[in-house]
Amino acid sequence: MALADARAICPDLVTRSSDLPSEALALVSIRRWASRYSPIIARDGADGLIADITGVPHLFGGEAGLRTDLQERLSRFGITAGSAIAETRGAAFALARHGGGIIAEGNLKRDIGKLPVSTLRISNDTVRALNRLGLSKIADLTPLPRAPLVRRFGQGLILRLDQALGQQSEPISAETDLPHFGVRIHFPEPIGLQTDVTGGLKRLLKRLCQTLAQYERGARRLRLYLCRVDHDTAIIEIGLARPMNAPERIAPLFSKGINELDAKFGIEAMRLVAHITEPLKPEQISYCDTRQTNELTDLFSSLGNRLGFDQVQRISPANSTIPERSFVHTPAAYSKIKKSEAHINTQRPAIIFPPEVIRIDYPAPPGTPPARFFWRQSKYRTIKATGPERITPEWWFDDPSWRSGLRDYWRIETNEGLRIWLFHAPKIQQWSAQGTFI
Amino acid sequence: MQPDHLQPSAFTLATARMHEVMGTGWYSFALYQATKHNGTLFWIAPEKSNQTLLPDGLPRNVAHRLHLIRPKNERDLLWSIEETLRSSAVDLVIAEPQKPLSLTAGRRMQLAAEKGQTTGLIFVREGQGSNACETRWKCHPLADQYGNLTLHHWQLIRNKRGIIGDWTVSWNGETDTINMVPSARQRYRTQETTDHRAVRAGS
């Protein structure tokens, strides 16, 4: 049904746009949870999961017990879901989307015969063509001769039909999960010295980095849990400017946290977890090149861990004619250098600031800049003016500071030496300063 | 013919040293130094400062090498100056602390710069510098009354190893080289008889 029709029927209808990436993420986490029912479980389409439960149901008291357990737990999470158990993947898919239930062994052909052909995972065009021929249920298809069906609708329909009826096999390939990147160490005696903690950390890092390297991944954030004797836990968390799996480069970042740590009665266990990891391919090592970038990355890591990774920035060009939006500050740890060969534009200031209204005692005639003005409590006399350069606001973007309409910019050289960027907003008849030149 | 100390080489800042700059035209001097260093540049300014660099108005080859650090407080700012100076991957560090530099802070920066073989250029306010700096510069933009030059008055007011000096230069960011400009009186001695109002533009 079209949204307009739905709104006409129910004017109070609340609509939300769908968020596909988050839905996919949610499905991934449900899949991970659902692995309690079967080791072989995979995503099936955008909204489903398929599990091979061969040999599992007796653990839950039979197929009915398994399904009840699944439905109960899902509804406790607040998830409305339909589920079905059948001999074949195609039949389970069809039934789960049409009421759900369990197809007992041997009843496959009878039970899915009642379902419409649209549940066979075939294209909408095929469904429409079948319906036009009066073939609306799966049971209508099964007795028909197959050759004319193939000639008319292609191999796809027959393949799906055979898969649903179990005449064609359709395996489920389970997706592999990344391992949990975490290691732990228990000490025979509680430790309290900084050197001991650092030593323990080194051992943990070595093991963790080996696992990371094996899966071609690098840690982006790490957490060190230090379990004290009195059953409470101190956590030291660090971030890295780049995915990394070199223990000797990660270890120094923990030193600040370890220095500030209070061991109290001693630490009896340590746990190190890389809770955010990113793919990291093995790199060609060369002396001159990597040394510089590695040192810069290490600098970003240490700056980012103290100041926050957002406070270390790069300037990237942006696509806008408005001067203050012609660039963006991106976190250096999460962006690449964008090199531009653009030459200096001498009509643009080197430093800009939010517009500051200047004081003018004797207004100049329209179309000319003021001959004298006050800015930041100093008096200036214009000796040279270049302009005006008219910049119009971007109408597709509502910027509060540009509500005053278009601006005429002037480069003003003053007798006092100051080279300043002034603009006049004709709509509000006001002169403001916005930058200073080299 | 200009004497040797008037050549632009006088503006080369010694590496592994911390320098100070003051005056309203300090950022022009800092940007000139940025063009003279080919490696990674760091510009450290407090987070609350509302002034920022506009890439279009910067000399070529500066914007993409520049990294900005915006520490939330003065303590973090001084720490980041020291940390960046100590890293050998960095070439030039330009910083704007908000409070007067203490001798300890200045000395620590000096030691960090020696460790990393980097150059530091710190903006200080009048009379707020630290004795640990190698050189101290006072920079002001200068009006060119009659010509079309972008003039700067760069004054070397403290130099641990060398002489002090006072230069008028012309540099508008388009090229890497600066031009030494003789004082206005010498330049326009021949023009003194002409009517200045006729030559003046704009006002």
Tell me, what's the pLDDT at A362? 85
Phi, psi of A52 (to 5 degrees): -95, 110
CB contact under 8 A, A299 and B84: yes
CB contact under 8 A, B202 and A307: no
Find, in chain B, the residue whose alpha carbon is nearest to that of A348.
B57
3-state helix vs strand vs coil in chain B, percent to 5: 30, 25, 45
Cβ contact A147:A158 at 8 Å: no
Angle at A38 between CA A32 and CA A42, to 5 degrees: 55
| DSSP single-letter state for residue A363 | P
A353 contacts in chain B (CB < 8 Å): 50-52
With a cut of 70, say whether residue B73 has pLDDT above it. Answer: yes
CA distance A238 to chain B (A): 17
- Biggest CA–CA distance in chain B, Å, is 58
Chain A residues touching residue B55 (CB < 8 angstroms): 315, 317, 326-327, 340
CB contact under 8 A, A419 and B144: no
| B46 pLDDT tier (thresholds 50, 70, 90) | very high
pLDDT of residue B118: 94
Confidence of residue B183 (pLDDT cuts 50, 70, 90): low
Q: Is residue A25 within 8 angstroms of chain B, CB to CB? A: no
Is B38 an interface residue toward A (CB < 8 Å)?
A: no
Q: What's the structural domain count of chain B?
A: 1
Question: Do residues B51 and A374 touch, judged by C-beta distance below 8 A?
Answer: no
For residue A143, whether the previous peptide bond is cis, meaning omega lies within 30 degrees of 0, is no
DSSP E strands in A165-266: the ranges are 182-191, 217-228, 233-244
- The reply to whether B196 falls in a domain is no
Residue of B nearest to A302 (CA): B83
Contact criterion met (CB < 8 Å) for A311 and B52: no
More confident position, B197 or A393: A393
Query: Is A353 within 8 Å of B50 when comparing Cβ atoms?
Result: yes
Higher pLDDT, B193 or A123: A123
The alpha carbon of residue A336 is apart from the nearest alpha carbon of chain B, in Å, by 10
Place of tokens 């398994």: A66
Ranges of residues in chain A whose predicted pLDDT is under 50:
none
Task: Give chain A positions within 8 Å (CB) of B48.
Answer: none
| Assigned token pair, A245 | 């799996």
Q: Is the pLDDT of residue B43 over 90?
A: yes
Q: In the Cβ-directed half-sphere of A79, how many Cα atoms lie within 13 Å?
A: 16
CATH number at residue B47: 3.40.50.300
Q: Domain range holding B167?
A: 14-190
The whole-number pLDDT of residue B192 equals 45
Q: How confident is the model at residue B185, as a pLDDT?
A: 53
Task: Decide if B57 and A307 are in contact by the 8 Å CB cutoff.
Answer: no
Rounded-to-integer distance, Cα B125 and Cα A168, Å: 83
Question: Can you give the pLDDT at residue B188?
Answer: 56
| A417 at B interface, C-beta within 8 A | yes
Nearest Cα of chain B lies from the Cα of A337 at a distance, in angstroms, of 6
State whether B76 and A371 contact (CB < 8 Å).
no
pLDDT at position B198: 40
Q: Looking at CA atoms only, how far is residue B100 from chain A in angstroms?
A: 22
Chain B positions in Cβ-Cβ contact with residue A384 (cut-off 8 Å):
200-203
Query: B54 vs A348: CB contact, 8 Å cut-off?
Result: yes
Whether B173 sits inside 8 A of A346 (CB atoms) is yes
Whole-angstrom distance, CA of residue A285 vs CA of residue B14: 33
Report pLDDT for B9.
72
Got the DSSP string for A390-434?
EE---TTS--GGGTT--EEEEEEEETTS-EEEEEEETTTTEEEEE
**A24 token code pair:** 């996919």
pLDDT band at residue B5 using 50, 70 and 90 as cut-offs: very low
What CA–CA distance (Å, rounded) separates A46 from A402?
A: 43
| pLDDT above 80 for B193 | no
Count of CB atoms within 10 A of residue A137's CB? 15
**Residue that has been written with the tokens 């015969």 in this structure:** A113
Write down the pLDDT at residue A341. 66
3-class state of residue A273 by DSSP: strand
Whether ipTM exceeds 0.90: no
Alpha-carbon span A200 to A198, nearest angstrom: 5
Report pLDDT for A289. Answer: 63
Task: Strand B52-53: give its sheet, edge to edge.
Answer: A372-375, A378-391, A407-414, A419-425, A430-436, A351-357, B52-53
Q: Is B69 on the interface with A (CB under 8 A)?
A: yes
CA–CA dist B49, B69 (Å, integer): 12
- The whole-number pLDDT of residue A272 equals 94
Domains of chain A: 20-165 (no CATH), 188-286 (3.30.1490.100), 351-436 (no CATH)
Identify which of A313, A435, A436 has the shortest CB distance to residue B67. Answer: A313
Model confidence pLDDT, tens digit, residues B88-103: 889 999 999 999 989 9
**Chain B: closest CA distance from residue A436 (Å):** 10
Does residue A336 sit at the B interface (CB-CB below 8 Å)? Answer: no
Contacts with A15 (C-beta within 8 Å, 6 or more apart), sequence order: A3
Q: How many CB atoms lie under 10 A from the CB of residue A276?
A: 14
**Among B35, B21, B9, residue whose Cα is nearest residue B180:** B9
| Residue B108: φ, ψ to 5° | -60, -40
B71 in contact with chain A, both atoms CB, cutoff 8 A: yes
Asked if B92 and B39 touch (Cβ cutoff 8 Å), the reply is yes
